[in-house]
Amino acid sequence: MFGELESDSPYEKVTRFLRATYWLTLSIVIGPTAYLMTCLAFLPLRIIAPELYKRIENFLCSNMNKMFGVLACTSGFEILEYGDDVDALSSEKCLVMINHQSHADHFPLLSAFAKKSSGHGAPVWMVYKFPALRWCPLGIAWAHHGNFFVQVGRPQVEMNRLKRHLKDVYFKRDMDWLVLYPEGATLPKYKLKSQEYAKEHGFPHLNHSALPRIAALKTVLDENKKKIENGCSAPIKYIIDVTMAWKGGYAPFIDDMFGSYRSPQKTHLLYRVY
């Protein structure tokens, strides 16, 4: 579990907090605003030269996402990657599935994926539609890039929306990585319900992950199957399974990472390609 390091003096905590606040402001407000204004300036290219616009937009989005990597680094977090080499798949159509520990997961993941997407397409993310996130500059920028915001509590409506999004955005724009959290929620929020469901239906008892919710995953695979059957030249070719782990099995929350309440930790990412 997280603990204080002897070297974590009040001065180190304050400086880490100030650095994180600076980069958090850049990542959520200033960087996305600059991204949106630059995309607006190049918007005519979306009609007259769509491929060129796509390259420019992906370059801008990749660099915007890299700010989160700087944010994680300034908070003292180290990212360690293991398993299959996924760098060669950065320009391939892949479905990326990740276990969800906490909202802090996004920061090391954005950092790791931004390095892999450099020069290629920035990943498309499926994230929950929190009003504070959806309508801040970062949320607007993500929506412009093609990320999909899921509204909780209406599964059938959202899966129909996802089908249209895959057809009109992901496949139409010929985007590369599609990233989702099959568990559908952070572990502390869903863990007890997952364990109760597992006990009732004879599934394994899990402590560090939750049973996946398959609605979105099935929708993506069904739509991809249609693309293959219709002779689509660029369907999803690979599934990348990413297992994220934090030391001691306890993921930090946003205030832990950027409030400097706990010591910096290592984030472990294990890749498996299918």
pLDDT at residue number 214: 83
| pLDDT tens, the chain, 274 aa long | 334 444 467 776 677 677 767 777 888 899 899 999 999 999 999 999 988 998 899 889 888 888 777 766 666 677 889 999 998 888 889 999 988 877 777 778 887 887 776 555 678 887 766 666 778 898 899 899 999 988 877 888 889 999 999 999 999 888 889 998 887 666 777 778 888 888 888 888 888 778 888 888 899 999 999 888 887 768 899 999 998 887 766 666 665 555 544 556 778 899 999 9
For the chain, give every domain's residue range: 10-273
Asked whether the beta carbons of 232 and 42 are under 8 A apart, the reply is no
Say which residues have a Cβ less than 8 Å from residue 230's Cβ, sequence separation at least 6. none
SS3 246: strand
pLDDT per position as a tens digit, 149-196: 888 778 888 899 999 999 999 998 888 899 988 876 667 777 788 888
Q: Closest Cα partner for 141 from 83, 60, 235?
A: 60
Asked whether the beta carbons of 247 and 266 are under 8 A apart, the reply is yes
CA–CA dist 264, 3 (Å, integer): 9
The tokens describing 188, both together, are 């502390």
* Residue found under tokens 């724009």: 173
pLDDT at residue number 75: 65
Cβ neighbours of 19 (radius 10 Å): 18
SS3 string of 211-224? CCCCHHHHHHHHHH
* Residue found under tokens 């700010």: 67
Helix or strand (DSSP H, E) at 270: strand 266-273
pLDDT at residue number 1: 37
Please give the backbone phi and psi of residue 203, each rounded to the nearest 5 degrees, phi first: -90, 165
pTM to 2 decimal places: 0.83
CA–CA dist 266, 254 (Å, integer): 15
Query: In degrees to the nearest 10, what's the CA dihedral of 177, 180, 186, 187?
Result: -100
